[in-house]
Amino acid sequence: MSTPVTRRSVLKGSLVLAFALAGSRVIGAEQGSKKMPNDLAKNRQLDAWLRIGADGVVTLKTGKVELGQGILTALGQICADELDIELSRLEIVSGSTTLSPRQGVTAGSMSTPEGGTAVRQAAAEVRSILVDMAGKQLKAPVSRLRVVDGTISDTSSGRKVTYWSLIGGRQLNREATGSVASKPVSERRYVGRSIPRRDLPPKVTGEAIFVQDHRPANLVHGRVVRVPSPGAALLEVDTASVERMPGVLKVVRDGNFLGVISAREWQAIRAAESLARAARWRELASLPVDPYAWLLAQPAQDIVIQDTPRADGSAPVRTLEASYRRPYQMHASIGPSCAVAEWDGEVLSLHSHTQSIFETTEAIAKMLGVPKEKVQGQHMNGAGCYGHNGADDAAADAALLAHALPGRAVRVQWSRQDEHTSEPYGPAMVTRVRAGVDAKGNVLDWAYELWSTSHGMRPSGDPGNLLAGQSLASPFSAPTPKNGGPPNYAADRNAIPLYAFPGQKVTTHFITQLPVRTSSHRALGAYANVFSIESFMDELAYEAHADPVEFRLRQLRDERAKAVISKAAERFGWSSWSRSPQRGRGIAFARYKNLASYCAVCLEVHVDPETHVVKVLRAVLAADAGEVVNPDGLTNQLEGGLIQSLSWSLKEAVQYDAHRILSRDWSSYPILTFSEVPPVEVEIIDRPGEPFLGAGEASQGPTPAALANAIFDATGLRVRELPMTPERLAAVRKG
């Protein structure tokens, strides 16, 4: 194992470029045992990944998309290193159903572990092929060849040849074999450095790179009238007066789907408002006012995902138990969803900020009744989301309206109210945990249960997962929800503790009914499960009169987990921290999905004794993400995840009554403001040469637990229901 190198959110020192001896880097016994990454195994043609142009431009093609996480920058660093080219020579094509390899959804913190590893292997193999070609042309052994920015030189004769003169503009027509080793760590020029993000300059300067800004020459504007409540049915609507409004090109009704297309955006907004007033709906009181009681009362699929009986049959000295709750929460994207679609009578072209461009276009093709190759999608930047927000549904709206008006590009922009009331939410969850402990408080038996609906209703090629598809006169039925399988799970993500408890039993109670539409919310079930586990670990430590850091360390066997906890505590100053009134500290830890990044979070809070307002004074985070591609990018992801999780944990919960969603704007669904964001310090334990570990969702789970633990330390109040609002703290104080 590589020796860890600690970074404090700073650049790795400048690396001197060491030009590797060119030629085939054949994987040895240790490397040969590594499995080809799934993304490459499913897209083995090397031409699917890379193109060497005759003009010297190298194009990397990827199915992974930029969501603000900096993935295209990281993939570019990996590719440039393996090909021995300058980053300035590299262009990247991303998220195109006609040009990119199909790599599935950009989700689950898998873009670097799977996508980055695939790019590394593909680029290494392409370099090897080109160097072999150069050796034949230069009549030189590959051991004598060196590569500098795509130019291959014979160190003996001085003769040179370039990648683009060897293959420029032509295809390799070769499949990846996985038999070529990637560069040694010492010879990597870009990986490990904080290379500036390639997506930021146009965002900072206001270039029209967001789908919300996309304006083709033949653009018209569409708006869809939303159902007033879940399950409502459109009984009747008089469209005649709306059809006569200025600029209206078409009113489209198909079952419960009701939309309008106008020449200008404001005309579409006014026409949609008129349509909404003219529509008469049948509504049902279908929403569970108490989501937690509803969850516990539903028939469930009971799945035991961990069952390890303790060999020692001695009775625990004491048994403790607690229950925790997480509400429905929104993605609450700052920019409401948008899409632009055009139907030319043969092919539908779609621009969308979906995270699943291949799967969404396939679902839309089925909805329209056309072959899947007749719907071509291109990802564009959207104004913020990690998870399944309204992007896919806006794409389906645009596709239906465009199909009804051939020859025009139809732009559908959701309103703030649309986004708040119609996006799929993160599911409400209930958890229960019970632990039997010995005389020192060590856990002997651990029993954990969770209740949840689905976290995975992305389009997945099925129009029944699209609002528009469900709304048609001949509707597509939503598929029966399923819980994701191991090792990542979905509702039960991170439900299995990483601690080495002798006896463990973890049970998922999975509910297939969906009273509120739910789907993938950043970190999925890990947010609630880590909150529950790590809050309870603090409760156990308190009862054992043990320090929370020491209590965790003594029940872990994973040395990397211990290192992350110790590093976070050291940076925070845990051992020297001075207590003062109304101030508290808390720590929490998890390894995301039990196979991705390790992350520990320490928080310091102040709780006002009169108003119960919680102020987070500072945050310290330590993480081990394996080999680090871009330290600054990784730091941004960890900081952003922590801040977003603080917003969820302090403020966010969907409000509704039996009929309607009441959280319709920012006043009824508040989020963390800039003035409430604490300073965040990040420690990264870099492990060059180790596998990449996904980090985009690593900090979401530990953050609420660290917050709850800090609040308890400050006040003695144990909050087991999210969010931890002043009203909830006051209620806990009253008992």
Q: What is the pLDDT of residues 324-363, one digit of tens each?
A: 999 999 999 999 999 999 999 999 999 999 999 999 999 9
Identify the domain boundary among 188, 223, 256.
188
Alpha-carbon distance 628 to 690, whole Å? 9
The answer to whether residue 603 is domain-embedded is no
Alpha-carbon distance 130 to 22, whole Å? 10
Contacts with 136 (C-beta within 8 Å, 6 or more apart), sequence order:
none
The answer to whether residue 309 is domain-embedded is no
pLDDT for 20 equals: 31
The answer to whether residue 249 is domain-embedded is yes
- Cβ neighbour number for residue 594 with a 10 Å cutoff: 18
The answer to whether residue 50 is domain-embedded is yes
Contact 232, 283 (CB under 8 A): yes
373/412 same-domain check: yes
pLDDT for 10 equals: 29
30/151 same-domain check: yes
Identify the domain boundary among 370, 398, 422.
422
183/216 same-domain check: no
The answer to whether residue 428 is domain-embedded is no
- What would the pLDDT profile of 369-402 be if each residue is shown by its tens digit? 999 999 999 999 998 778 999 999 999 999 999 9
227/184 same-domain check: no
Percent of the chain with pLDDT over 90: 93
pLDDT for 488 equals: 79
Range of the domain at 356: 211-284+331-422
pLDDT at 1 over 80: no
- What would the pLDDT profile of 518-569 be if each residue is shown by its tens digit? 999 999 999 999 999 999 999 999 999 999 999 999 999 999 999 999 999 9
Alpha-carbon distance 342 to 411, whole Å? 9
Number of structural domains found in the chain = 2
41/169 same-domain check: yes
Mean pLDDT value across residues 169-176: 95
pLDDT at 112 over 50: yes
pLDDT for 268 equals: 98
Q: Where are the beta strands (DSSP E) in 608-651?
A: 614-624
352/401 same-domain check: yes
162/260 same-domain check: no
The answer to whether residue 103 is domain-embedded is yes
pLDDT band at 34, cuts 50/70/90? low
Alpha-carbon distance 345 to 342, whole Å? 9
219/180 same-domain check: no
For the chain, what is the mean pLDDT?
94
Identify the domain boundary among 389, 422, 455.
422
pLDDT band at 23, cuts 50/70/90? very low
pLDDT at 111 over 90: yes
pLDDT at 29 over 60: no
Alpha-carbon distance 603 to 712, whole Å? 12
- What would the pLDDT profile of 194-214 be if each residue is shown by its tens digit? 999 999 999 999 999 999 999
pLDDT at 5 over 60: no
Q: Is pLDDT larger for residue 8 or for residue 286?
A: 286
pLDDT at 17 over 50: no
- What would the pLDDT profile of 436-471 be if each residue is shown by its tens digit? 999 999 999 999 999 999 999 999 999 999 999 999
183/233 same-domain check: no
b vs e for 124-150, b when ≥16 Cβ sit within 10 Å of the residue's Cβ? Answer: bbbbbbbbbbbbeebebebebbbbebb
176/222 same-domain check: no
Contact 355, 105 (CB under 8 A): yes
Query: Which CATH number characterizes residue 135's domain?
Result: 3.30.365.10
- What would the pLDDT profile of 583-612 be if each residue is shown by its tens digit? 999 999 999 999 999 999 999 999 999 999
The answer to whether residue 72 is domain-embedded is yes
Q: Which two three-digit tokens encode residue 590?
A: 């998890």
392/276 same-domain check: yes
pLDDT for 27 equals: 29
- What would the pLDDT profile of 238-267 be if each residue is shown by its tens digit? 999 999 999 999 999 999 999 999 999 999
263/358 same-domain check: yes
Alpha-carbon distance 265 to 629, whole Å? 43
pTM exceeds 0.85: yes
Contacts with 187 (C-beta within 8 Å, 6 or more apart), sequence order:
18, 20
Residue closest to 481 by CA, chosen among 449, 508, 448? 508
Percent of the chain with pLDDT over 70: 95
The answer to whether residue 116 is domain-embedded is yes
pLDDT for 501 equals: 98
Alpha-carbon distance 500 to 492, whole Å? 18
